[in-house]
Amino acid sequence: MPDILKFIDYNKSRYEEELKEFLRIPSISTAPEHKGDIRRCAEWVAEEMKRIGLNNVKVMETAGHPVVYGDRLDAVQDAQTVLFYGHYDVQPVDPLNLWTNPPFEPTIIGDNIYARGSVDDKGQVLMQLKAIEAHLRTSGAMPVNVKVIIEGEEEIGSPNLDKFLEDNKNLLACDTVLISDTPMFGYDQPSLCYGLRGLCYMQVEVTGPNRDLHSGFFGGAVENPINALAMMISKLKDDKGKILIDGFYENVMPISERERTEYKKLPFDQKAFMKDLETDATPGESGYTELERMWARPTLDCNGIWGGFTGEGAKTVLPSKAYAKISMRLVPNQTPDEIAKKFEDFFNKIKPAGVTIKVTDLHGGMPAITPIDSIGMKAATKALAEVFGKEPFLTREGGSIPIVNSFSSILGAPTVLMGFGLPDQNAHSPNEKMNLKNFHRGVKCGALFYQNLV
Ligand code: BES
Ligand code: MN
Ligand code: MN
pLDDT at 125: 98
In 109-256, alpha helices (H) = 122-138, 161-167, 169-172, 215-218, 225-234
CA distance 255 to 343: 23
- State which of 182, 193, 400 you would mutate to test the pocket of ligand 1, scoring each by most atoms of that ligand within 8 A of its C-beta: 400
Cβ–Cβ contacts within 10 Å for residue 36, how many?
A: 10
Task: Identify the pLDDT of residue 76.
Answer: 87
The answer, yes or no, to whether any atom of ligand 1 lies below 6 A from the CB of 155, is yes
Work out the number of other CB atoms within 10 angstroms of the CB of residue 47: 12
Model confidence at 137: pLDDT above 90: yes
> What DSSP string runs through 30-53?
T-GGGHHHHHHHHHHHHHHHHHHT
- Give the list of residues 6+ apart from residue 319 with CB closer than 8 angstroms, or none: 208, 212, 224, 225, 226, 307, 308, 309
Task: Provide the terminal-to-terminal Cα distance of the chain, rounded to the nearest Å.
Answer: 19
The string of pLDDT tens digits covering residues 20-74 is 999 999 999 999 999 999 999 999 999 999 999 999 999 999 999 999 999 999 9
Specify the pairing of strand 81-87 against strand 176-179. Answer: parallel
CA distances, 440 to each of 26, 116, 124, 370, 387 (Å): 24, 19, 10, 26, 10
Judged by its nearest atom, the ligand closest to the C-alpha of residue 417 is 1
Pocket mutation for ligand 1, best pick of 180, 401, 428 (most atoms within 8 Å of C-beta): 401
Going by alpha carbons, the residue nearest to atom 15 of ligand 1 is: 400
Q: Is 402's C-beta closer than 6 angstroms to any atom of ligand 1?
A: yes
Ligand 1 atom 13 nearest Cα: 155
Ligand 1 pocket check for 151: Cβ under 6 Å: no
The pLDDT assigned to 75 comes to 86
What is the pLDDT, as a whole number, of residue 2? 82
Helix (H, G, I), strand (E, B) or coil at 270: helix
Instruction: Give every CB contact of residue 301 below 8 A, 6+ residues apart in sequence.
Output: 326, 327, 328, 329
* 154 assigned to active site: yes
Answering whether pTM is above 0.75, one says: yes
pLDDT tens-digit series, residues 68-97: 999 999 988 899 999 999 999 999 999 999
Distance 86 CA to ligand 2 centre (A): 8
Which runs of consecutive H residues, i.e. helices, occur in 102-221?
122-138, 161-167, 169-172, 215-218
3-state helix, strand, coil in the chain (%, to 5): 35, 25, 40
Q: Domains of the chain, with CATH numbers?
A: 2-196+367-452 (3.40.630.10), 198-252+298-365 (3.30.70.360)
Residues 6+ apart with CB under 8 A from 337: 364
If you average pLDDT over residues 184-193, what whole number do you get? 96
pLDDT tens-place string over residues 356-385: 999 999 999 999 999 999 999 999 999 999
Predicted confidence (pLDDT) per residue in 399-444, tens digit: 999 999 999 999 999 999 999 999 999 999 999 999 999 999 999 9
Residue 416 β-bridge partners: 178
Ligand closest to 400 (CA) is: 1
- How many CB atoms neighbour CB 211 within 10 A? 9
Catalytic (active site) residue 9? no
| Percent of the chain whose predicted confidence (pLDDT) is above 70 | 100
The average pLDDT across 221-236 equals 98
Ligand 2 being an ion, which residues bring their Cβ within 5 A of it? 120-121, 181
Nearest atom, ligand 1, residue 329 CA: 21
Closest Cα to residue 52, out of 446, 454, 453? Answer: 446
Report whether pLDDT(318) > 90: yes
> Given 154, 155, 181, 432, which residue is catalytic?
154
